[in-house]
Amino acid sequence: MKARCTDTWPDTIRNRKAIAERWAAGMDTLAIAQDIALTEPQVCQILARIQDARHAARLLSRTLDARS
């Protein structure tokens, strides 16, 4: 799933943090959605965006390490 590029509700810092914490704790996307009052597709889109950002950071780090 491709994450939408947006910084508006429901993709807020507060929701990102709540989703990341619950995902790390082992909750599934439906349980997360019910817990923070979003739809499952919204949770999946935000989770995909979080994962895209983390992947980009790893790639940048590897590129910078290779240059040193």
pLDDT (tens place) for every residue of the chain, 68 residues total: 555 555 567 889 999 999 999 999 999 999 999 999 999 999 999 999 999 888 777 777 777 777 76
DSSP code of 9? T
pLDDT value of residue 5: 55
> Cα(65)–Cα(68) distance, rounded to whole angstroms?
5
Query: Encoding tokens for residue 47?
Result: 């989770």
Half-sphere exposure of 38 (CA within 13 A, CB side): 22
The per-residue pLDDT for 4 is 55
